Structure 1
Amino acid sequence: MRRQGPGELAFYPWLLIAYPPISDLVEGHVRPALPAALGVVGFAVLYVLCIRLSFRGRRRAAAVALAGLLVVIFLLLTGPAQNWFYLAPLMTIACGVVLRGRSVYLLLTVLTLALTAVMWHSGAGWASISLATWGTATGGLVVSVVLKLFSVITELQETREELARVAVAEERLRFSRDLHDLLGHTLSVMVVKAEAVRRLAPRDAEAAARQAADIEAVGRKALTEVRAAVSGYRGRGLAAELASARTVLADAGIAATVTVSEDRPAPEADALLGWAVREGVTNVVRHSAARTCEITLEGTVLEIRDDGRGAGPGALGNGLRGLTERVVALGGTLEAGGGDGFVLRVTLP
């Protein structure tokens, strides 16, 4: 996972806070010097381990190093040199890096109270106690809040990228569905007209030529529709689809009855009802073996009924499933089925 915000290198310079104790050791103000020097070295090593292990995701090992750090710091703070209390903020910075959630706030409270007691027992004044405890408490708190903030920012960025990937996938699915609807209908029309050409060619060359010309026109129209789909346009509208349906059904030898109310649906509903007419008529031509087909539109309720073979096992193919998704997205319902013949009913709000 990508890490945002400060990295481990940002926390190592804080070790410069240990300068006063080191200065006391160099100048000989601490006796015995060897245990104190070992304590400072151990403190620095454990602090580096806390930061390094935590940023590498080894939380359990980092927690063990933190426990050792706290033990060493309180052993050092019981020494005679008052300047050693400058080390206290470093232990809370390590706490803010290693711990997450509410545990860090609880531990910071306990450490602040413990530091106050140790300083009071050592005879430090209230000014020194206030300064040390304030730095100790705020050091760990600020580090914890900043790291949490950048962690949330990272999660939000990853969520935004995932949403973008999902949106792209949904758009690809929508486009493939639209392309299926466009080409499925168009290819069905071309197949019907090609069959008409085959039947007419032996006995009526002129009629066959007209059907061939229609195939050419349908092919050109299909290219236009595909270009429109690529450009983001959806459908040709209800009136155009009804006119196309009459022609396609007639060419397929299916008697068509179209009844449409005078109410004009809203533009979005008009486009969706056009898609429904296209898909329904395509299914009638390709699958029904029907002799008659009735198309009725009352307001925003569309019904396409035929007297064909009825619903088979694959009645709801890709086209109807895609149409159902569009209808539901607009707040409508789609019903399809039937035993004697097939009925497609789309109801929009």
Structure 2
Amino acid sequence: MSRASRANRPGRGFRRGRRDRRPGPPGPFALLPWLLLGLGAFSNLWQGETSNPWIGGLGLLAFNSLYVNVVFRGFDKRKRESTTSYVLLAAMGAVTFSLAIGYGGSWLLFFPLLSLACGTILRGRPLGWGLVTLAVCGCLVAVWRGDHASEPWTIGYGTLLSGAVTAAILTLSETVMELRATREELARSAVEQERLRFSRDLHDLLGHTLSVVVVKSEAARRLAPHDLDAAIGQVTDIESVGRQALTEIREAVTGYREGSLATELDRAGPVLAAAGIEAVVHRSGPPPAPGTDALLGWVAREAVTNAVRHSGGTRCVFTLASTPERVRLTVADDGAGPEHPGGPVNGTGLKGLAERLAAAGGSLESGPGTDGGFVVTAELPAEARSGSGGTAADGAPSGRSECG
């Protein structure tokens, strides 16, 4: 078996996945070894140094059972916040105080264990007040009994510290897990946004390009019997459009496609002319910012595609009006518009453009014009952001100009 085959075996991949798996928060089993603090009390029972050993033994069994139950519930958020968890914690506290007051000595070490259990269940202000109260009570019981091997204040200090450290570690681990989940969700969202961007770009690019190819192919077919040179010119244009489309698709895949309104208007002239549509451009105000200019270029491209494919009109007017705050582009044709077969009122391209402009703080409206035809109106902030880049629009003077 080759090295590549061995590397791709399921067993090896599974073991590699286990080795690369990132660590999560500590589990409840990590807190079970702390029950060894109760070995001193167990030793007292075993050696017969405790009065009423049966009561002490039942108390030790009850404490350990409650501790294990509470700790395991503390790692399940739903169970941790339930009433049962607080009841079990209260029962554990009653057993702890009973054994510590009744026997003293090594039995006082159940206070730190109770504090540790509190750290797994309680959060926020209840945890702080609970640990302080428990530490003070443990210290007072130790002073009252006076039979512990260490100073009474060590019981209070150990009680406070064990619960605080446990709660801090668990809270930090939970926060890390939430941040990890948030990062994964953001990564998934980024992938979805990139897929959406690519689908929009691909639709706009191919829709426009194929429309141009169809129009010029029809023109070449009409001209061929009468003017072979003109037909060859149309075929040459088809070749040029195809090469340009390949370049744009590659740039769209890598996310670096740059465009501008001026570029799209320059390309629109020959396309509309081949479909028998006159292109007219009106400009007023300062040139749009690069991001806004790039988005308006997409609007112009989609509007030209729809005019060529659906309008059946003879005139298409582009009106750009910009101010220091807002920029508006209106594209109106005099064709059949939405009543034309296959009209683009709710087309995929217009929907995608509306979403794209809304994300940049703008809006897109489309529908029948008051005097007939079809009108597309895009409005954007002067400094809109574009996901596809762009260059500044050409600052042509105001007035009427022939496109192309």
**Contact 1:235-1:275 within 8 A present in 2 as well:** no
How much does 1:169 deviate? Answer: 0.5
How much does 1:314 deviate? Answer: 4.7
Q: CA–CA distance in 2 between the matches of 1:303 and 1:266?
A: 17
Using a 3 Å threshold, how does the CA distance of structure 1 residues 278 and 235 change in structure 2: closer, same or farther? Answer: farther
Q: Per-residue CA shift, 1:329-348, capped at 9, x if unaligned?
A: 44444343324122223334
Matched, 1:241 2:264: yes
One-letter amino acid of the counterpart of residue 89, structure 1: P
**Contact 1:188-1:286 within 8 A present in 2 as well:** yes
One-letter amino acid of the counterpart of residue 303, structure 1: T
**Contact 1:197-1:212 within 8 A present in 2 as well:** yes
User: Please, which of 299, 304, 318 is the counterpart of residue 295 of structure 1?
Assistant: 318
One-letter amino acid of the counterpart of residue 306, structure 1: D
Q: Per-residue CA shift, 1:40-77, capped at 9, x if unaligned?
A: 23323332233234336644565554344323222211
- Equivalent runs, 1:107-122 vs 2, <5 Å: 107-122=130-145
Secondary structure of 1:344's counterpart equals strand
Q: Per-residue CA shift, 1:234-278, capped at 9, x if unaligned?
A: 343223211211100110011222344595433223322222221
Q: CA–CA distance in 1 between the matches of 2:281 and 2:223?
A: 27
Q: Which residue in the other structure is 1:36 paired with?
A: 56
TM normalised by structure 1 equals 0.87
User: Please, which of 160, 174, 178 is the counterpart of residue 151 of structure 1?
Assistant: 174
- Equivalent runs, 1:1-349 vs 2, <5 Å: 4-55=24-75, 58-59=79-80, 62-63=85-86, 65-122=88-145, 128-260=151-283, 263-299=286-322, 300-311=327-338, 314-337=344-367, 338-339=369-370, 340-348=372-380, 349=382
How much does 1:179 deviate? Answer: 0.9
Query: Which structure ranks higher in relative contact order (CA pairs < 8 Å, sequence separation ≥ 6)?
Result: 2
One-letter amino acid of the counterpart of residue 12, structure 1: L
Once the two structures are overlaid, the 10-residue window that deviates more, 176-185 or 59-68, is: 59-68
How much does 1:165 deviate? Answer: 0.7
Q: CA–CA distance in 1 between the matches of 2:329 and 2:50?
A: 94
Secondary structure of 1:79's counterpart equals helix
One-letter amino acid of the counterpart of residue 95, structure 1: C
**Contact 2:310-2:344 within 8 A present in 1 as well:** no
- Structure 2 unaligned regions, length at least 5: 1-21, 383-404
Once the two structures are overlaid, the 10-residue window that deviates more, 74-83 or 224-233, is: 74-83
**Contact 2:317-2:332 within 8 A present in 1 as well:** yes
One-letter amino acid of the counterpart of residue 59, structure 2: G
Secondary structure of 2:102's counterpart equals coil
One-letter amino acid of the counterpart of residue 41, structure 2: P
Secondary structure of 2:74's counterpart equals helix
What is the aligned-residue RMSD (CA, Å)?
Answer: 2.8
One-letter amino acid of the counterpart of residue 326, structure 1: R
Secondary structure of 1:4's counterpart equals coil
Q: Per-residue CA shift, 1:265-314, capped at 9, x if unaligned?
A: 33223322222221111111111111111223344443322111244585
Once the two structures are overlaid, the 10-residue window that deviates more, 74-83 or 107-116, is: 107-116
Using a 3 Å threshold, how does the CA distance of structure 1 residues 69 and 330 change in structure 2: closer, same or farther? Answer: closer
**Contact 1:30-1:81 within 8 A present in 2 as well:** no
**Contact 2:38-2:106 within 8 A present in 1 as well:** no
Q: Percent identity at matched positions?
A: 47
How much does 1:116 deviate? Answer: 4.6
**Contact 1:3-1:154 within 8 A present in 2 as well:** no
Secondary structure of 1:11's counterpart equals helix
**Contact 1:43-1:72 within 8 A present in 2 as well:** yes
How much does 1:177 deviate? Answer: 0.5
Using a 3 Å threshold, how does the CA distance of structure 1 residues 232 and 64 change in structure 2: closer, same or farther? Answer: same
Q: CA–CA distance in 2 between the matches of 1:3 and 1:55?
A: 16
Secondary structure of 1:29's counterpart equals coil
TM normalised by structure 2 equals 0.76
One-letter amino acid of the counterpart of residue 226, structure 1: I
One-letter amino acid of the counterpart of residue 317, structure 1: G
Secondary structure of 1:159's counterpart equals helix
Secondary structure of 1:13's counterpart equals helix
